[in-house]
Structure 1
Amino acid sequence: MNPVLDFWSSFSLIFLVTAIPVAIMIVLEKRSPYKTAAWILLLVLLPVFGVVFYLFFGQEYRKRKLYSRKGIKSLGQYRKLSVRQLRQFEQAFSNLDKKILEKENIIRLLLNNSDALLTTGNKLKILVNADQTFKAVFSAIKNARHHIHLEYYIFADDKIGNQLKDLLIEKSLEGVEVRVIIDDVGSWGLSDKFIREMKNSGIRVQPFMEVRFPRLTSRVNFRNHRKIIVVDGITGFTGGLNIADRYFEGVKGIGPWYDIHLQVEGDAATCLQVVFTADWYFVMRENLTGRNYFPPLKESKGVPVQISASGPDSDWESIGQAIFAAIANAKKRVYLTTPYLMPPMQIVSALKTASLSNVDVRIIIPEKSDARIPKWCSFSYVEELLEAGIKVYFFQNGFIHSKYVIVDDVFSTVGTTNLDFRSIETNFEVNAFIYDEDFTAKLVRIFKKDIQNSREIKLKEWSQRRWHFKLKESLAHTVSPML
């Protein structure tokens, strides 16, 4: 017997039995050609591994829905209000500044694709890094009178995690309702003892989409990346920081962790509450209703904000669509910061088109990353962006994890969404979309300060990088739609 022929016979059989049926499934899902080609290439090169990887990380659930939103009372109530805003747009927002109304297409888009109410009675505060963020968070929690709601991707059993746990226990023993949702993968290291201490004090803790057999393959890929705190329905927080010491201490070999968070006072906090209560219904099948959780909307003067949530439970990639629309309609500038730059091709095209239309487009990404393959994926987009005249900066002072986009003078978005395939197409995310000149100016000042701690990459320099550097980029770029 010829061992070479035996090998190829076995390989062909495996390919026919495993890879071809899965490849047909992928084609029938009608994904973007880019993603379809990436998955089929993986199946051809590594048929057995490719099939397993697809079952765990590749199945498309957006059209099938991971869970139904029927029965969530808070969503139904606010959906009616969003429909009313769409129908009566001119009357409802006649007092808005003309510059804000120039972004009417984004406001309408978010009302349509995620029922994101435009609220006006808001005060916002940008919180830079862990010191400012957790000082504000602990202060709000200490002042809680009725309830505290937390939803986090990472809740670590470390110094800051235990400090927060102890404070939540203290408030629970005072009679304050405390509910906590943790992502089952992101908070994998949270001990049973840690959770038991919270539960024994009356805190209700629930994991989001537990990863257990036999449901492993249908759930492991869809993670709750949201970071939400709502206190008494009127104070809210969202942004890039999870609950872990690394946000204070930095990352070994990389340096300090740089991030921003957002504190919201007013009606937008109530909208964050809607997102939390929908997720709470999903994990507990319990509706939270009433004025204690949802104070009446004031619709008073303040910063206009829309809170949009996206994920595989919704019909549209709402946050990605809004970012694309904002960039595509930019007139003056597009500034963005993201720790992982792996955007879908439509956003890449929008960025390049804006730059070629004489819009000032600038991007800050970390030079050193906490994840090796995403770092090389990010680098793989740099050359085509530079060729379009986009200015790209590598952050030098540690690891920048901020996630925000600034367009022109009155629009910005801050939240949990990275500019990558996973955040835009797969994960459960939440962003605040803000329409305000003063807030935008503050964010621009932060961006320009971050540029001072970065080095600009020039096309000539980048094109002369070593061949093995380019090879790593190319290999990473191939798998970027699957990350």
Structure 2
Amino acid sequence: MTSTQVSSEPVPRTLDAQPSVTPEARAVRIRRRLERLIGIAATEGNALVPLRNGDEIFAAMLESIRSAEHTVDMMTFVYWKGDIARQFAQALAERALQGVRVRLLLDGFGSRLIEAEQLAAMERAGVQVAWFRKPLYLSPFKQNHRCHRKVLVVDEHTGFTGGVGIAEEWCGDARNENEWRDTHVKVRGPAVDGIAAAFAQNWAECHDELFDDRDRFAEHRPQGDAVVQVVRGSASFGWQDMQTLLRVMLESAEERFRLATAYFSPDAYFVKLLCAAARRGVEVEILLPGPHIDKRVSQLAGQHFYDDLIACGVKIFQYQPTMMHAKIVTVDHVVALIGSTNFNRRSLDHDEEIMLAVMDEAFTTTLDEHFEADVASSELIRTGRWGRRSFMQRAREAAIAPIRRFL
């Protein structure tokens, strides 16, 4: 697609130039835009810990599960095989045997590879297992709408979300192509209620009992200084909250917009938003998987737009060591997004997703430092070199056009 074709879409409105403001004021402004335009209040008093790669992520999640006293609610898109899958199954089963109410919600497509033995062991121990939209029993329309959320809530006071699935691919510390690069976040404070609501929304579709006497509905005490808005995306027709979230981030950016995503296949409208930000002087940087991407078709869908994005001044990096699976946005050093949402049509149009909008400079700084470390292990897509790509590469990009909206 040429730049002329992309510009045929409705031109997104850019914000009027505004005088420079303090980082605190900038964060407040973005917060109010999000609260009013999405209609979900942000909460104060949260503490967040960014967790980088499987060694940190799985250790923190398992420690939290093993210390549970009342309830464990967990949902995931991917639950596959291997030692880490067995460790989670054993931890969940052990807490259920000790009288903890344990609920596990698995996506009917993404978790289809779970070992039957582990599933049976959990159910024997008393874990309540439910499946979200098993394809065998659904219409083709519903089969296309998956639960891509990754959520763990323990004792109502500790929540986790981010990009990881329960599988060997996420183990380790991104040291080689067998250890995927990803980020999760541990949350304490009132924002945990929003994470719990994401679980409850999907559990209600799959199970008759929404809550029981083990749910205490306890008040949250302040745990930190972070302001957090929890945004849930759900499959529907028309414009969605997740699209609004990303649009507000792009149109609010004044200095820098950074995006790390596993799957990049936006529509022309969001390409236009990215270009508009770059053209008004925002440094726009996109970090994507490189040679180790697990879904080549998704990469081809995004590469279709590289010419237009590079021409606008957008910098595109491809991560070299392993599969880049994180889903992170940072804006102007003060606001960050983290969760399960990719920058693609599937996440924005078709799947159940969750994203945290975090107004906290220290948290954003940490994610920016991670981004810079990842860029140091990445290759920049250069205009001349990309323009000389082969005819076969261009043909492959064009060939997937009919299915781009589903990627």
TM-score (norm 2): 0.89
Counterpart in the other structure of 1:175: 99
- The alpha-carbon deviation at position 435 of structure 1 amounts to 0.7
1:410 alignment partner, one of 318, 334, 339: 334
1:99 matched to 2:22? The reply is no
Q: Is the CA contact 2:146–2:352 (under 8 Å) kept in the aligned structure 1?
A: yes
Larger radius of gyration: 1
Encode CA deviations 1:400-427: one digit per residue, 9 max, x unaligned.
1111111112111001001000001000
Equivalent residue, structure 1, for 2:356:
432
- CA-to-partner distance for each residue in 1:210-265, whole Å, 9 max, x for gaps? 2224x2423211110000000001101001100001112699x9543111111111
Q: Deviations over 1:369-404 (max 9, x none)?
A: 101211211221211110000111111111111111
Which residue of 211, 232, 249 corresponds with 2:155?
232
Question: What CA distance in whole angstroms lies between the structure 2 residues aligned with 1:245 and 1:97?
Answer: 40
Q: Hey, what does 2:325 align to over in structure 1?
A: 401
- Structure 2 CA distance, aligned partners of 1:190 and 1:164? 12
Give the structure 1 partner of residue 289 of structure 2. Answer: 366
1:144-155 aligned within 5 A:
144-155=68-79
Q: Distance in 1 between matches of 2:209 and 2:135?
A: 21
Moved over 6 A (4+): none
Please say if residues 257 and 398 of structure 1, whose CA atoms lie closer than 8 Å, have aligned partners that are also in contact. Answer: yes
CA 1:175–1:313 in structure 2 vs 1: closer, same or farther (change >3 Å)?
farther
The answer (yes or no) to whether the contact 1:270–1:295 under 8 Å persists in 2 is: no
Match of 2:17 in 1: none
Match for residue 375 of structure 1 among 293, 296, 299: 299
Structure 1 counterpart of 2:330, one-letter code: I
Count, aligned residues: 384
Structure 1: any 5+ residue segments left out of the alignment?
A: 1-32, 35-95
Question: In the alignment, is the contact (CA less than 8 A) between 1:157 and 1:190 conserved in 2?
Answer: yes
Q: Which runs of 5+ in 2 are unaligned?
A: 7-22
Q: Deviations over 1:66-95 (max 9, x none)?
A: xxxxxxxxxxxxxxxxxxxxxxxxxxxxxx
Q: What per-residue deviation string (whole Å, max 9, x for no partner) do you get for residues 171-224 of structure 1?
A: 1111111000000100112244322211111110010112224x2423211110
Asked if structure 2 preserves the Cα contact closer than 8 Å seen for 1:172 and 1:178, the reply is yes
Cα distance in 2, alignment partners of residues 147 and 398 from structure 1: 35
Distance 1:267 1:356, change over 3 A: same
Deviations 1:282-337 (A, max 9, x none): 11132226794532244675200011111126875111211111101211110001
1:340 aligns with 2:267: no
Rounded Cα–Cα distance in structure 1 between residues aligned with 2:241 and 2:362: 25
In structure 2, the CA distance between the partners of 1:291 and 1:256, relative to structure 1 (3 Å rule), is closer
Question: How big is the shift at 1:344?
Answer: 2.4
**1:458 pairs with one of 377, 382, 404:** 382
| 1:277 and 2:200 aligned | yes
Residue 120 of structure 1 aligns to a residue in which SS?
A: strand
Q: Distance in 2 between matches of 1:401 and 1:359?
A: 25
Structure-2 separation of matches of 1:293 and 1:153: 27
* Residues 1:290 and 1:381: Cα distance change in structure 2 (over 3 Å): farther
In the alignment, the residues of structure 2 paired with residue 290 and residue 453 of structure 1 have an alpha-carbon distance, to the nearest angstrom, of: 50
Written as runs of structure 1 = structure 2, the 5 A alignment for 1:65-144 is: 97-103=24-30, 104-111=32-39, 116-144=40-68
SS in 1 for 2:258: strand
Between stretches 326-335 and 340-349, larger displacement belongs to 340-349
Q: CA separation in 2, counterparts of 1:320 and 1:175?
A: 41
- Residues 226, 429 of structure 1: 8 Å contact kept: yes
Match of residue 234 from structure 2: 311
Q: Structure 2 residue aligned with 1:205, among 129, 138, 148?
A: 129
Higher RCO (Cα < 8 Å, 6 or more apart): 2
Residue 162 of structure 1 aligns to a residue in which SS?
A: helix
Structure 1 residues 313 and 383 mapped into 2: Cα distance closer, same or farther (>3 Å)?
Answer: closer
The farther-off stretch of 192-201 and 137-146 is: 192-201
Q: Quick one: structure 1 residues 289 and 170, their matched pair in 2 at CA, closer, same or farther if it must change by over 3 Å?
A: closer
Structure 1 residue 481: Cα displacement = 1.3
Is the 2:27–2:334 Cα contact (8 Å) retained in structure 1?
yes
After superposition, the Cα gap between the structure-2 partners of 1:324 and 1:341, relative to the gap in structure 1 and judged at 3 Å, is same
Paired letter, 2:93? I
Instruction: Give the corresponding residue for 1:325.
Output: 248
Q: Distance in 2 between matches of 1:393 and 1:412?
A: 19
Contact 1:380 1:476 in 2 (8 A): no
1:448 match: 372
The percentage of counterpart residues that share the same residue type is 27
Asked if 1:184 corresponds to 2:184, the answer is: no
Counterpart of 1:80? none
TM-score of the aligned structures, taking structure 1 as reference length: 0.76
Please tell me whether the aligned partners of residues 273 and 293 of structure 1 are also in contact (alpha carbons under 8 angstroms). no
Matching residue of 1:4: none
